[in-house]
Amino acid sequence: MEWCSWLSKTSLEPSHVYEYALTFTRNELVQDDIAYFDDEFLQSMGIFVAKHRQKILKLAKRDQKKSTTSSRNHMLWLIVAIKQANKLVAKRLKMWTCRPDSISCNFAVALLRNYSTRWKATMLKRNTKLSTAN
């Protein structure tokens, strides 16, 4: 991550921005690590001025809010895409099904057998056998 550009979004002086960017780079921090920033963590890395830590934490919090809203937008986009794909597949299947007035078919629809009545009949037979055996 380009720490200088990220830290320049704060109102820190350019010399501090450069110094803290070097500190983050030396500690091999990446963008995902911003979520773990807290006062003690920044102080342990050598950022001893409380106001500077406060500005960095404020920026980190703002970036975290942006990333959560963008991930929500991605989820909404995914849901919309799934719904549109579902509609498209249904439309294509309707085109392929046989119509009563058509002579030829591109796709034969298999009718699903309703097993519920068969299951009910079997259960009734079993229950009557059990009740007569007692």
- Amino acid of residue 14: P
Mind giving me the DSSP string for the chain?
Answer: --HHHHHTTSS--HHHHHHHHHHHHHTT--GGGGGG--HHHHHHTT---HHHHHHHHHHHHHHHHHHHHHHHHHHHHHHHHHHHHHHHHHHHHHHHS--TT-S--SSPPPPPP--HHHHHHHHHHHHHHHHHH-
- Amino acid of residue 103: I
- 109 pLDDT tier (thresholds 50, 70, 90): very low
- Report how far apart, in Å, the C-alpha atoms of 123 and of each of 118, 127, 132 are: 9, 6, 14
Task: Report pLDDT digits (tens) over 58-92.
Answer: 999 988 877 666 666 777 788 888 888 888 888 77
The mean-pLDDT minimum among 7-11, 16-20, 65-69, 83-87 falls in 65-69
pTM attached to this predicted model: 0.50
Residue count of the chain: 134
